[in-house]
């Protein structure tokens, strides 16, 4: 790092020095050179005028002698030229050997304009650059030349001085770059060590900076970030421990898995459930091998929705309700609720009801039989006794129906009654159910209509579904006689059957409890009609045993519609609806 900072600083200083040197060389040197040349030209002009005045004043003197004297006095080269360009005298060359100067620019300017003429060029005689200044005299002109080599020599000295100063500045810059690099590197090394400690998990790390420059501001911002991270981590750790304490204090077993099905966390009851064999970071199947648990986790992760299931193979003789819910960002959390005690109580209740109902059948049959015998044997002169016996017979029959319904419900709930499902045509189920209720419909003066049904088959036990349909139709005949419509339709998950009446309807507060045991909307009317309050409960459990669903849609004054759905026998078969507009009536 130090070398990198050193070379960067050195390169920066070098660029600044080089640029400054080039700028000075280009601008200041040229300006100084131009100023020096202008000064030399001015001085040379004055000397040339004096030389011209001296030539005009000296008559008959040797021209070469005049030129040498003027050159010695002014430290320049002096030349006297005739108007035709012939050199009459020169301080440094033989006039006889010199070429004609009629074409020299300074000579032409002096003769034509009668004023001072000047030019700069290489001397063909000597071979070095000269600054020439010519002044007119009678019959020609005089000229003085100053060698520019002296200017170039002075410029070279200045350039060498500038380069030397630049070299000294570069050396000083290298020293400064090293010192600054050392200082910056030491401060950056502290920031690097701070970052390494933070990355290692030490959120208490801080950077000591006393200056107020940009690096110190960065260090202060990093300190502030580390302080906020530490506070957030402490709060998060406290929340995690609190949540862990809550989950460990639960009676339910809880386990969390990631999207890759690997175990992330498990509470104490879960570890006790699998006898401490929960392996964090390992696949869930290494800790839990119940297929229902694994299936619930898979469905929750894939669908992103909560799923429930029942696990019976985690521990022999125990039943668990499995609830798997998706966990952000990806994964699932599974809660296992022990249903063993509830199942045991429920089984005891069902067995008790079944046993009691079974035991009541024989005495109730005897009571009913003896009551019928007494009624048949009573003389006409005892009408009051006949009324008493009618009441006894009516209640005995009601008790008999109640015990029969209780037995049926107990067998369906416990799974003792098995349903042999097979493909059955929807229309067949509807027409047979309506035909079975023909006499009851006539007795109540009702009109039962079968609407066109889909040409499809459902997986169902014919007798069980007949019991569902007849029970629903019987309820409609009892509580909403008149027009009743029975039918079925295609839905996304199968075939939905419905029984619709156009009676008074059911208030919304009764709908959630309508399928409970012994629940009656109008208790007095239900007793008068001979209902036991178990019909809809039996219907619901039969439909659930077929893996279907049950619902009701009703409002006061608009009648009621009871729906239940069954799975299709062939889900890929194209659905169709009977096109015949005719209805079947009974």
List C-alpha distances in Å: 34 to 19, 21, 279, 290, 562. 22, 19, 90, 101, 112
Total count of residues recorded for the chain: 586
Closest CA to 424 of 379, 382, 454, 384: 454
Instruction: Please report, for residues 41, 78, 177, 487, the alpha-carbon distance to residue 102 in angstroms, rounded to integers and kept in the order given.
Output: 22, 16, 63, 132
Q: Given this model, what pLDDT does residue 234 score?
A: 81
Q: What's residue 578's pLDDT?
A: 34
Q: How confident is the model at residue 586 (pLDDT cuts 50, 70, 90)?
A: very low
Q: Residue with structure tokens 């099905």? A: 261
Is residue 452 within 8 A of residue 580, CB to CB? The reply is: yes
Q: HSE on the CB side for 81, CA within 13 Å?
A: 26
Whether residue 118 contacts residue 106, with contact meaning beta carbons closer than 8 Å, is answered with yes
C-alpha span between 257 and 276 (Å, rounded): 17
The predicted structure's pLDDT at residue 583: 35
CA–CA dist 300, 334 (Å, integer): 9
Task: Name the maximum alpha-carbon separation found in the chain.
Answer: 199
Range in 309-318, 427-436, 565-574 with the lowest mean pLDDT? 565-574
User: Is pLDDT of 576 > 60?
Assistant: no
Residues 6+ apart with CB under 8 A from 87: 79, 80, 81, 95, 98, 100, 101
- Count of CB atoms situated within 10 Å of the CB of 416: 11
Q: Please provide residue 482's backbone torsions phi and psi, each rounded to the nearest 5 degrees.
A: 135, -130
Which one of 350-359, 409-418, 496-505 scores highest in mean pLDDT?
496-505
Higher confidence at residue 69 or residue 279?
Answer: 69
Angle, vertex CA 463, rays to CA 457 and CA 466, nearest 5: 75
Which has more confidence, 329 or 231?
Answer: 231
- Residue range 113-154, pLDDT digits in tens: 888 888 888 776 666 788 889 999 888 899 988 887 777 677
Long-range pairs of 278-282 with CB within 8 A, sequence gap ≥ 24: none
Encode pLDDT of 184-207 as tens digits.
777 777 777 778 877 887 777 777
Give the whole-angstrom CA distance, residue 151 versus residue 436. Answer: 134
Which range scores top for mean pLDDT: 16-20, 114-118, 164-168, 519-523? 114-118
Whether the per-residue pLDDT at 561 is higher than 90: the answer is yes
Phi, psi angle pair for 376, to nearest 5°: -70, -30
DSSP, residue by residue, 304-325: SS-EEEEE-SSSTT--EEEEEE
**What are the distances in angstroms from CA 482 to CA 16, 154, 535, 548?**
106, 130, 21, 29
**Does residue 417 have a pLDDT over 80?**
no
Averaged confidence pLDDT in the chain: 79
| Two structure tokens written together for 456 | 């499809």
Give the span between the Cα atoms of 295 and 314, in whole angstroms.
Answer: 14
Share of the chain above pLDDT 90, in %: 9
């Amino acid at each position: 790092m130090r070398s990198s900072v050193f070379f960067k600083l050195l390169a920066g200083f070098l660029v600044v020095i080089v640029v400054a040197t080039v700028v000075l060389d280009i601008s200041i040197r040229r300006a100084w050179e131009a100023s020096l040349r202008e000064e030399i030209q001015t001085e040379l002009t004055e000397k040339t005028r004096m030389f011209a005045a001296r030539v005009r004043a000296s008559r008959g003197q040797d021209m070469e002698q005049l030129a040498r004297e003027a050159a010695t006095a002014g430290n320049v080269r002096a030349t006297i030229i005739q108007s035709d360009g012939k050199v009459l005298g020169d301080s440094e060359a033989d006039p006889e050997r010199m070429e004609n100067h009629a074409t020299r620019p300074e000579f032409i300017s002096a003769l034509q304009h009668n004023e001072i003429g000047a030019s700069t060029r290489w001397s063909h005689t000597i071979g070095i650059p000269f600054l020439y200044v010519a002044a007119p005299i009678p019959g020609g002109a005089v000229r003085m030349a100053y060698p520019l080599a002296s200017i170039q020599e002075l410029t070279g000295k200045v350039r060498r001085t500038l380069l030397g100063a630049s070299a000294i500045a570069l050396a000083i810059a290298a020293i400064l770059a090293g010192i600054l690099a050392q200082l910056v590197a030491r401060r950056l090394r502290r920031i690097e060590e701070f970052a390494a400690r933070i990355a290692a998990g030490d959120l208490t790390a801080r950077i000591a900076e006393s200056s107020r420059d940009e690096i110190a501001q960065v260090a202060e911002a990093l300190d502030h970030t580390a302080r906020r991270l530490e506070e957030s981590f402490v709060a998060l750790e406290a929340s995690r421990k609190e949540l862990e304490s809550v989950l460990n204090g639960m009676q339910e077993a809880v386990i969390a898995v990631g999207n890759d099905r690997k175990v992330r966390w498990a509470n104490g009851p879960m570890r006790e459930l699998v006898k401490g064999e929960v392996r964090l970071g390992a696949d869930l199947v290494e800790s839990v091998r119940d297929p229902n648990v694994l299936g619930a986790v898979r469905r929750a992760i894939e669908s992103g929705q909560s799923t429930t299931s029942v696990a019976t193979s985690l521990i022999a003789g125990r039943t668990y309700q499995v609830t798997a819910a998706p966990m952000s960002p990806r994964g699932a959390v599974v809660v296992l609720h022990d249903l063993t005690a509830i199942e045991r109580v429920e089984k005891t209740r069902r067995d008790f009801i079944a046993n009691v109902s079974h035991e009541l059948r024989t005495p109730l049959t005897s009571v009913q039989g003896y009551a019928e015998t007494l009624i048949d044997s009573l003389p006409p002169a005892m009408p009051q006794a006949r009324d008493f016996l009618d009441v006894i017979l009516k209640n005995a029959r009601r008790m008999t129906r109640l015990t029969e319904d209780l037995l049926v419900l107990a067998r369906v709930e416990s799974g003792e009654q098995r349903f042999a499902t097979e493909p059955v045509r929807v229309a067949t189920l509807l027409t047979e159910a309506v035909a079975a209720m023909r006499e009851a419909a006539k007795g109540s003066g009702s009109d039962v209509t079968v609407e066109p049904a889909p040409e499809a088959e459902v997986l169902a036990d014919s007798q069980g579904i007949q019991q569902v349909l007849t029970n629903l139709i019987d309820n409609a005949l009892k509580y909403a006689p008149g027009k009743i419509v029975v039918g079925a339709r295609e839905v996304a998950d199968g075939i939905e059957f419905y029984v619709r009446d156009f009676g008074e309807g059911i208030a919304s507060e009764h709908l959630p409890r309508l399928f409970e045991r012994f629940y009656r909307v109008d208790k007095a009317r239900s007793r008068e009609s001979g209902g036991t309050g178990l019909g809809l409960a039996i219907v619901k459990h039969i439909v659930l045993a077929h893996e279907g669903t049950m619902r009701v849609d009703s409002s006061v004054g608009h009648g009621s519609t009871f729906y239940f759905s069954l799975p299709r026998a062939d889900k890929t078969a194209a659905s169709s609806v009977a096109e015949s507009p005719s209805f079947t009536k009974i």
